[in-house]
Chains A and B, each alone.
Chain A
Amino acid sequence: MSTTAHAHAHGHGDDEHNPFLAHHFDTMGQQAGAAKLGMWLFLATEILMFSGLFLAYFITRLFYPEMVLEAHEQLSKIHGGVNTIVLLTSSYTMALAVRSAQTSNTAGIKRYILMTMACGGIFMVVKYFEYSAKFEHGLLPGRYYSAHLHGLHIDGLPHIFYAVYFMMTGLHGIHVMVGLGVMAWIYVRANRGDFSATNYAAVENTGLYWHLVDLVWIFLFPLLYLVK
């Protein structure tokens, strides 16, 4: 099959000699298509994983509306709001990094990837301060909950609410950190000159992953911090 394909693919001399074309693909476009389909399938599993936590939130809210209302007042709208802006900005710079790759602009990829990583870093720093404040007030999940020892009494099951809060934001935070690692790898590869308009599936897929992290936060923020 491979030899037949090569014999006929005269229009795409570029593909035949592209060092990034794996031998089991015929063209760079086909290779990128397979990579992207795999990424979308992975994102599907990510969405399903987070959906379990969202469901846990909705059930808690359905059963204990007053408790959720009272407990969510303890979360910092300022921290949440700043992180929302930071993460949306990072999604924007990530989209521009992918666009730079599409136009073979290596300097652009590197610049925008660094900006995206900076935003991810700010997000984690804000998260650190936010979590520290929760720890100090004993607003912790499950049996670690001790806010009643700090003069705060919330009726109902606040330790369940904080379990949901820490699981959702914690899993999301882990995704942010993984994203930072992947972007560092993209930066190194961009620096090496690996990416061009014909080979940028890695940048594109990293972008898709990062946008998913943003998407999760778009729903987390109003649900946990804002909604009454």
Chain B
Amino acid sequence: MSKTYLNGKAIDGFHEVHEHVSPISLYNKIIAVLFVLTGLTYAVSFADLGAASLTVAMFVATIKAALVIGYFMHLKYDDRYHLFVFAGTLIFVSIFFGFTMFDLQARTALNDEQETFMRIRELESSGAGPKLGVDNVPERAEKIRQEIEAHGGGHGGGHDAGHGDAKAAAPTPAAGTAPAKPAEHAPGH
């Protein structure tokens, strides 16, 4: 290792990279594990795990991310200071997520406790006030209904019957061309 001098004195611990060269076999192993974990996430998504599915998916994704960061990005062998920068970022992200979630979870309880929005709630419970939540606003539902009618109804037939899975990947020709000029099509439907 070379030495660096500052004002004529040798200094230690300055940032100099002496890279660790990983063998190709290590990269092969890592990519194999990443493929297996991807397959696992994919397979698990078809099983009905309920609320646990998010936890499982995030757990597997975190393992995959750790492998990429540790071995492909060399953070395992790298200057510890880079790990500090990365871990510091994660700390700030968790503060960002954590405090936002605290706010969202605690908001209803706090509103009740401090009697914020009491008037809206009273009106709401008496059936007179505006409903909270944009989708429940009657005007919006009405607007959507009118849009559908002006369009001459939704594209009927098989299109709205089984819109579940493969439809997005393989659009029917009718669905592909119609939305461009809805007005002309309206009477035909």
Contacts and interface: CB of A to CB of B under 8 A. Distances in A.
Q: A and B: real partners?
A: yes
A30 interface: yes
A149 B45 contact: no
A37 B72 contact: no
Contacts of B44: 226
Interface in A27-79: 27, 29-30, 32-34, 36-37, 40-41, 43-44, 47-48, 51-52, 54-55, 58-59, 62, 73-79
Nearest to B3: A8
Interface stretch (B92-100, B109-117, B118-126): B92-100
A59 B35 CA distance: 30
Contact of B86 (A40, A88, A223): A40
Contacts of B148: 148-149
A12 B163 contact: no
Interface of A: 1, 4-5, 8-9, 11-12, 15, 26-27, 29-30, 32-34, 36-37, 40-41, 43-44, 47-48, 51-52, 54-55, 58-59, 62, 73-79, 81, 84-85, 88-89, 91-92, 94-96, 99, 102-103, 133-134, 136-139, 146, 148-153, 155-157, 201, 204, 207-208, 211, 214-215, 218-219, 221-223, 225-228
Interface of B: 2-8, 10, 14-19, 21-22, 24, 27, 30-31, 34-35, 38, 41-42, 44-45, 48-50, 53-54, 57-58, 60-61, 64-65, 68-69, 71-73, 78-79, 81-82, 85-86, 88-90, 92-93, 96-97, 100-101, 104, 134-135, 144, 147-148, 151, 154-156, 159-160, 163-165, 167-171, 175-176, 179, 182
